[in-house]
Amino acid sequence: MKTKSNFLIYGAYGYTGELISELAVKNGLKPILAGRNVEKTQALANKLGLKWIAFEAKDKTAVKLALQNVDVLLNCAGPFTQTVKEFVPACIATKTHYLDITGEIDVFEYVKTQDQAAKEAGIMIMLGVGFDVVPSDCLSKFLKDELPTATHLELAFMGLGGVSQGTALTMVENAGEGGMIREKGKIKKVKTAYEVRTIDYGVKKMTSVTIPWGDVSTAFHSTEIPNIKVFMAQPPKAIKAMEVSGYFSLVLKNDFVKSFIKKKIKAGEKGPNEEKRNSNNSYLWGKVMDGINTVEARLITPEGYKLTSITSLLITEKILNGDFKIGYQTPSSAYSKNLILEVEDTEMTVV
């Protein structure tokens, strides 16, 4: 076992990776920064006074060499459908704990298959250590404990700060794939904008639409509730656009179309600015039902990207301090429903 308590942030110069790296330094941590681009990685490391290394995720030899000297890999480089299958086996081989900030259902489902290998290696592998899916996972477990007989779970969130380039690029990568829900214990593909309803988030009511959010995978692992839907607050015009996009799924899957849209995204702003991150909150709602009883709850957190930087480092520090459970874990399965309440300015209440 390694004795050096340190961690490596891969994709450190991306929008979210840079936020996490900056907060790590502010918190007195000294992560090793990494990414595939030498110039960008070095520039950020020099700015923050940190060590750095550059390598491609697909370079198996380089990945293993980089992981030999760290206890935790925090992967911030998406699309995670590409990087996770390179990093997780390498982490198992080098006995390095693996964390990332994905919200992609297929990625969660793949990593679940690595549970036994992770246990044998004595490491924890946890995905979704940011806004995807720490708050919603803790809310799910909270609701399950309020109604242990629950058979149906509905979750929803409303964020006011906008999205980063990385999130937008991941959305483009998955464009045309439709939606996903969990039904009778199985993940089921459904049409885009499968269900629309108005949800009361406490501060306002918003039209909300089902999306293929990570909790369709993770909440089942955390609660064993067999029927799960996740909604996101969106203006009616945006929902209409989602519904229309379902008719053009073949076009949206086209590589040329995806490439064109990605170029437009990369030409825009990287993500919400500091003022938006500090002035906005995220609002979550959840409901469980067992056919007779119903329990609803709400959760207020800091803005999504700000929360991601906080929770990803919170979990990293727990692991470095020896606080972890081996194998595949979700935030609440490793640290309980109260994990999110360790973050300042959070509040969870039954409606």
What tens-digit pLDDT sequence spans the chain (351 residues)? 344 459 999 999 999 999 999 999 999 999 999 999 999 999 999 999 999 999 999 999 999 999 998 999 999 998 898 899 999 999 999 999 999 999 999 999 999 999 999 999 999 999 999 999 999 999 999 999 999 999 999 999 998 554 434 443 444 344 446 799 999 999 999 998 899 999 999 999 999 999 999 999 999 999 999 999 999 998 888 888 777 655 434 433 444 333 433 344 344 446 788 888 888 999 999 999 999 999 999 999 999 999 999 999 999 999 999 999 999 999 999 999 999 999 999 999 999
- CATH number at 197 reads 3.30.360.10
Residue 198 included in any domain: yes
**What is the distance of C-alpha 293 from the center of its chain?**
30
Task: Look at the pTM and tell me if it is higher than 0.85.
Answer: yes
Residue 266 included in any domain: yes
Q: Are residues 242 and 180 in the same domain?
A: yes
- Domain residue limits at 41: 7-130+306-335
CA gap 74, 92 in Å, rounded: 14
Provide the token pair at 81. 């459908």
Provide the token pair at 102. 């994905």
Tell me how many domains the chain contains. Answer: 2
CA gap 135, 340 in Å, rounded: 6
DSSP 246: G
Q: Are residues 168 and 142 in the same domain?
A: yes
Place of tokens 């009361």: 200
Asked if residues 301 and 342 have their Cβ atoms less than 8 Å apart, the reply is no
> Which backbone phi and psi does 297 adopt, to 5 degrees?
-150, 160
CA gap 276, 199 in Å, rounded: 23
Residue 340 included in any domain: no
Total length of the chain: 351
Q: Are residues 227 and 273 in the same domain?
A: yes
Asked if residues 193 and 210 have their Cβ atoms less than 8 Å apart, the reply is yes
Is the peptide bond between 212 and the residue preceding it cis, with omega within 30 degrees of 0?
A: no
